[in-house]
């Protein structure tokens, strides 16, 4: 028997077929991957990956194993190409750790909405093509013609070894979907553990006591949900979506240039409600605002109208667990009709409690999608296309915009109701309202929802509104200047410092330069997670 590497016409055809997913990536990638460098990297690395799988299959002459391996690897490669292209198509971005992050996170409904939203006709066609090829391959992968003798085997092994080492050398991790999935999942789990052991505890082990004044204080921080300032009348929106807040506008400080670091709840609140910021996204010795308040001697409440647990506990609720009194008013997820008025009786109780110093955090359901499930029918006010400026005039889009505006109208009622109730207590207090991020509702893109990759103005620009009681103003004479600060450009990843100043808390890591309320404040370059300067993009 001659020992030689036999490669006939059939074998070549077979190999070409085996590389079909690779060709799909190479061809469609030209249209979907905007950066040439990224495109080339993807192609090279996916080519490597396909070759390696092919080489592995050459290590055996057992037809059964070989055939199985061919079939399995072909289906895997097709699947990976689909995932990659789907991400480029929808987000114009590589599959990333934060994407996994979102898919892994608790609110399974958010993920399913996420999927519903982004599976569309072109992707379905792609899916069908790849599935068809996979079926064809599986049925025809009878690999009789590729029988290699020992030289070939050794050759294959040699190629495999070379490729594998170059693969590691190249640090494929970024483009290799398999590797990335495992790595980010592990990262996510470690991160979750960290949260449970540290941030969910009443006190932070990374910080000593914080100092605060001994006088009576009742402070309220309202964390909104998916509410963009671009749909709020008080910020210049053409529709009357904030009649109640607009009415008391003179008694509010309405900050006009505040943006969120991320456009998803979890990633945004992870930085807004802790000492972590965009510069130190992996900060391990982290402390949350709830812990800071605890350590400064406040009695803390966390009243949330967002569902506390799912498959995993969600990050905001873990932060909330550090409060001395954690109340979840809602056990349903986003698919259900959930109205924020449910938190009002709990707020009343907290306000009436005898604790002399308290900070009440309120986490709203706000204007989260599906918008029509956020408000009772009395708030179904916007029903036509009047005063709508949109990229999409379809009836579906108009109806979504109307629902979003109605949800905003209800949110206006909730926020002003909270202010009213705190005001009635006539004590030393503030109420601060901001949103975790906003939603794009066909404002500048033909798109509805939020995702980091598209990161529009409507997703990043959030309301930031402060109400102060008369007693608070007397206690803190420097607030006189704050009306001059309302147009300061601010990135909410520094919020901890503003929160501390507002609550008259001093702690070791406090940096007054990062407090929007401080005379020392210096606006910083607002560099987002993608490395881009937000303010340059705006121009």
Binding site for Zn ion (CB under 5 A): 225, 265, 436
Q: Which is nearer to Zn ion, 198 or 225 (CB)?
A: 225
Instruction: Tell me how far, at minimum, the Cβ of 246 lies from Zn ion, in Å.
Output: 24
Quick one: 265 or 408, whose CB is closer to Zn ion? 265
Euclidean distance between CA atoms 400 and 383, whole angstroms? 10
By the 8 A CB rule, do 179 and 187 touch?
Answer: no
- 378 touches 426 (CB < 8 A): no
Degrees to nearest 5, angle at CA 48 with 46 and 52: 120
**Nearest distance in Å: CB 458, Zn ion:** 13
**Shortest spacing between CB 87 and Zn ion, in angstroms:** 21
Closest separation in Å from C-beta 367 to Zn ion: 9
How many Cα atoms are found within 13 Å in the side-chain-facing hemisphere of 437?
Answer: 26
**What gap in Å lies between CA 298 and CA 214, rounded to an integer?**
10
> 50 or 304: whose CB is closer to Zn ion?
304
Q: Is 536 exposed, middle or buried (0-12, 13-18, 19+ CB in 10 A)?
A: exposed
Shortest distance (Å) from residue 138 CB to Zn ion: 42
Q: 282 is written with which tokens?
A: 């992996």
Using Cβ positions, the residue closest to Zn ion within the complex turns out to be: 265
Could you tell me which residues come within 8 angstroms of residue 93 by beta carbon, excluding any fewer than 6 positions away? 87, 453
In the numeric block, which tokens belong to residue 14? 């077979």
For residue 339, the minimal CB distance to Zn ion (Å) is 17
3-state secondary structure of 516: coil
* Minimum gap (Å) between residue 265 Cβ and Zn ion: 3
Of residues 180 and 271, the one with the C-beta less far from Zn ion: 271
Q: Which letter does DSSP use for residue 309 in this model?
A: B
Task: Name the residue nearer to Zn ion (CB basis): 69 or 361.
Answer: 361
Cross-strand bridge partners of residue 288 = 274
Residue 333 or 436: the one with the smaller Cβ distance to Zn ion is: 436
CA atoms within 13 A on the CB side of 184: 19
Question: What separation, in Å, do the N-terminal and C-terminal C-alpha atoms of the chain show?
Answer: 73
**Residue closer to Zn ion, measured from CB, 217 or 265:** 265
CA gap 53, 71 in Å, rounded: 11
């Amino acid at each position: 028997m001659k020992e030689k590497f036999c490669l006939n016409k059939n074998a070549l055809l077979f190999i070409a077929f085996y590389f079909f997913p690779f060709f799909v990536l190479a061809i469609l990638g030209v249209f979907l991957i905007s950066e040439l460098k990224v495109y080339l990297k993807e192609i090279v690395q996916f080519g490597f990956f396909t070759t390696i799988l092919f080489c592995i299959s050459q290590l055996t002459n057992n037809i059964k194993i070989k055939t199985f391996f061919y079939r399995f690897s072909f289906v895997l490669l097709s699947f990976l190409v689909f995932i990659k292209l789907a991400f480029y198509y929808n987000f114009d971005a590589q599959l990333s750790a934060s994407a996994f992050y979102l898919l892994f996170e608790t609110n399974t409904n958010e993920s399913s909405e996420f999927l519903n939203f982004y599976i569309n006709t072109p992707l379905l066609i792609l899916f069908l093509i790849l599935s068809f090829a996979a079926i064809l391959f599986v049925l025809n992968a009878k690999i009789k013609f590729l029988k290699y003798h020992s030289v070939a085997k050794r050759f294959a092994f040699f190629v495999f070894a070379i490729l594998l080492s170059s693969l590691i050398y190249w640090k494929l991790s970024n483009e290799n979907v398999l590797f990335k999935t495992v790595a980010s999942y592990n990262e996510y789990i470690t991160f979750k553990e960290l949260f449970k052991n540290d941030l969910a505890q009443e006190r932070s082990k990374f910080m000593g006591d914080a100092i605060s004044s001994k006088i009576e204080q009742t402070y309220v921080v309202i964390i909104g949900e998916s509410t963009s300032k671009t749909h709020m009348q008080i910020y210049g929106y053409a529709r009357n979506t904030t009649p109640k807040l607009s009415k008391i506008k003179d008694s509010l400080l309405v900050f006009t240039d505040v943006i969120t670091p991320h456009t998803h709840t979890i990633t945004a609140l992870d930085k807004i409600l802790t000492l972590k910021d965009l510069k130190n996204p992996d900060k391990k010795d982290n402390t949350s605002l709830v812990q800071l308040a605890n350590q400064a001697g406040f009695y803390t409440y966390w009243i949330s109208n967002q569902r506390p647990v799912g498959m995993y506990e969600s990050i905001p609720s873990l932060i909330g667990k550090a409060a001395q009194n954690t109340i979840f008013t809602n056990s349903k997820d986003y698919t259900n009709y959930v109205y924020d008025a449910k938190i009002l009786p709990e707020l009343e109780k907290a306000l009436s409690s005898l604790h002399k110093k308290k900070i009440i955090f309120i986490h709203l359901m706000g204007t989260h999608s599906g918008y029509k499930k956020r408000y009772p029918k009395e708030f179904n006010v916007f029903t036509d296309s009047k005063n709508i400026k949109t990229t999409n005039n379809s009836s579906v889009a108009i109806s979504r915009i109307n629902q979003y505006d109605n949800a905003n109208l209800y949110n206006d009622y909730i926020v002003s109701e909270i202010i009213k109730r705190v005001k009635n207590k006539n004590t030393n207090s503030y109420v601060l309202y901001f949103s975790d991020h906003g939603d794009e509702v066909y404002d500048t893109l033909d798109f509805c929802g939020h995702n980091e990759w598209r990161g529009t103005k409507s997703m990043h620009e959030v309301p930031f509104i402060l109400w102060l009681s008369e007693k608070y103003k007397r206690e803190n004479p420097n607030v006189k200047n704050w009306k001059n600060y309302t147009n300061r450009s601010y990135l909410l990843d520094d919020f901890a410092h503003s929160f501390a100043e507002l609550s008259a808390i001093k702690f070791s890591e406090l940096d007054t330069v990062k407090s929007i309320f401080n005379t020392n404040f210096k606006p910083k370059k607002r560099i987002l997670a993608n490395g881009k300067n937000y303010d340059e993009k705006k121009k």
